[in-house]
Every structure is written in C-alpha cells, then in structure tokens.
Amino acid sequence: MVKHRESRPGHKAAGGLGARPRRDMSGKPPAKPAHASKPAKPSRDHGERVTEPRDVAPERPLMTRSGERPAERVPVILESLGAGDFHLIDSGNGLKLEQYGPYRIVRPEAQALWPPSLAPHVWDNADAIFTGDTDEDGMGRWRFQREALGETWPLQLLGVDFLGRFTAFRHVGVFPEQIVHWAWMKEQVEAAKRPLKVLNLFGYTGVASLVAAAAGAEVTHVDASKKAIGWARENQALGRMEKLPIRWICEDAMKFILREERRGSKYDIILTDPPKFGRGPNGEVWHLFEHLPLMLDVCREILSPKALGLVLTAYSIRASFYSIHELMRETMRGAGGAVESGELVIREAGPDGRTPGRALSTSLFSRWVPK
C-alpha cells in the first residue's frame, strides 16, 4: 500500500543513528544503500547548502523488551472534513482542489485516482496551480490565474495563527490531515491536572508546537532545517505567542533524542513525523526503514512514567499500516495501554466546506496511549 506524503519545504530531516534528519535534506547520496545511490531531491530544502552525507554507526543497540504487547485497535481511520481555514473541495485525475483561507489552490495528488466531481470551470477558477515536477519531492512553480499573489498569507487552525506560503515543493506550510492528532494532543494537555512536556520531532513550521503550547504544555520543537525553524518563529510572532514556553532546536532528531536519553530527560507526549529519506545539517543520512526502530526505541525510553502518548505518522512509504503498528507494539511491550493504528484521511467538503464527498488517504499512523 502506498501512502503518500509530500515532503515539506525548507525542511531538513532529522535523523541520527546513521540517520539523518528529515524529508528535506540536501546533499549527495549516501555511500551505502543501493537504493540511495543517486542524489536525493532536496525535498523541503529551499536551496540550502548541500552537505556531504555520511552514515553513522548506531550509538546504542535496541533494548530487549519483555512483558505483554499492548492491546491493539485496528484499523483506525482518523478523518477530518476540514480544519480551521482549510478544507478539501474536490479531487480527481491525480489532483486536489483545496481551500486555504482566501485562496483556492490546485496541487498534484497521486492518491486521487477517480475523476473530479465538480465541473472543470470550478477548477479553472483556482487562484493558484502548482505546475512542474509531479514527483512527491519534485520542484516546480506556482501559476497564478488572475494576479500574482504574495508569498505568504495568514491562516488559522485550532486557534493558532500561522503563515501559509507558496513553496517550490508544492507545500504551503501545514499538513491539515494532522489536525486529528493535534486536537487529541490539545485535549490531553487541557485535561491534565499537571503541566505536561511535549516533544515535537521533525516539527516543520511549528503549528503543532504552537497548539500544544497554547493549550498549556511546555514544548520542545526539533527540526534540522534552519528555514523551517525560522518559519516556525515567524508563526509564533504572528500569533503574539513569543512568551509561550517553546524551545526551538535546530538539530538532527536522532542525535537530540539520544542525548536526551543520556541526560534522563522525560516527556509526556511525543509526536514524531519522520521522512522516508532525509539528510541532516552535518552529513547524517536517514532511511526510515533502517532507522525507525531505534528512533521509536529511544522515544520509549524518554517517555515519562505517566506519559499520555507516542504518536508516529509516516508518509511516502510502500507499506501497510500494520508494519508500523507491529513495530509500535513491540517497542511498547510491557508498557500496558493500547496501540491504535491506521490511516489519516481528509474528506472532500465541496465548495461550501460542508458537503461530504470522497475520502482521500494521506498517510499512515500508529499511536500508543496508556489506556
């Protein structure tokens, strides 16, 4: 099963382990695996300087776990009809028509195998259309139908203000299907009778981090891309949220969590959204299928004794959700609770944002919760 996640702009992967940060790294191919023997496209890189990748030996072996595996809830389909200033209007013929605040935009969508529901003139009236390379990591350009639009514009989601941006990698600064995870996290933070610590790995433009902090959490946001961190800070300033307790860390995610493990740091909720392949700021190389087991293993070790959740989202991989589901259950063996896994989907909402249509699959997820 192919689950598709567009790589994010200006975004370096955060990996570690041998890993390398996230979907967006720039650089030459790793010397090792055959499948990475050609240069990777600079998914969210925005033209950042290319670094020479190097594989790094794992810094520690996987833990040997004992006890029962957590209970399971599968398949779980987490669906959103719309999110704040966003909704999916229509999809089909490998494209999707979306509403982002005042703008209607058209972008490639490989999962949309069916014909569009709406008439061609509705699509033709879009404000911006992404053209060029339709590969998930491909670069292209935006064609503005009537007049050139500004690079950024304000959006809002779950009460948080942030900037949309037309990037060369088709992205606009937010992955709205993840509102289901962010709303869940917001509820956990607000319902807790104690201050919670949230770790957001591969945090991109910081929308999830701002949602968590606005709800009352102390947040650590990690991303290997300086540009993504800069964008996240812009979003923080836009919402006048500079006083919220957020640490912005520009670093390889694997290196960061391995150091946190050595320090004995603990977090109550961990969100991790790793790329399929990525390159980090100092030459680290990340391959999801090679390095994800250790990443989750370390995340398990830095969960607090009263942790409320470990959330994994995976895009652009050829796999069933069962692959990450069973990995999560093995990682959390002996911890009790339950692992729920499945897909994140967005349902078409029509031009008015209230007319349910077809469901568009966007990614796989697996989430451990204590009960």
Q: Tens digit of pLDDT for each residue in 255-305? A: 999 999 999 999 999 999 999 887 777 777 888 999 999 999 999 999 999
What is the average per-residue pLDDT within 169-189? 96
- CATH 3.40.50.300, domain 71-80+158-163+170-369, yes or no: no
CB count within 10 Å of CB 28 equals 16
How many whole angstroms separate alpha carbon 80 and alpha carbon 42? 30
Q: Where exactly does CATH 2.60.40.1180 map onto the chain?
A: 86-151
Domain with CATH 3.40.50.150 in the chain: 71-80+158-163+170-369
Phi, psi dihedral angles at 180 (to 5 degrees)? -65, -35
Alpha-carbon dihedral 231, 10, 3, 57, rounded to 10 degrees: -110
In this prediction, residue 348 has a pLDDT band, given cuts at 50, 70 and 90, of very high
108 DSSP β-pair partners: 95
Structure tokens at 187: 């509820």
CA distance 355 to 348: 7
Cα 313 from Cα 362, distance rounded (Å): 10
Q: Which amino acid is at 206?
A: G
What CATH topology corresponds to 86-151?
Immunoglobulin-like (2.60.40)
pLDDT in tens, 74-120: 999 999 998 889 999 999 999 999 999 999 999 999 999 999 999 99
Distances 153 to 7, 61, 103 between C-alpha atoms, Å: 21, 46, 9
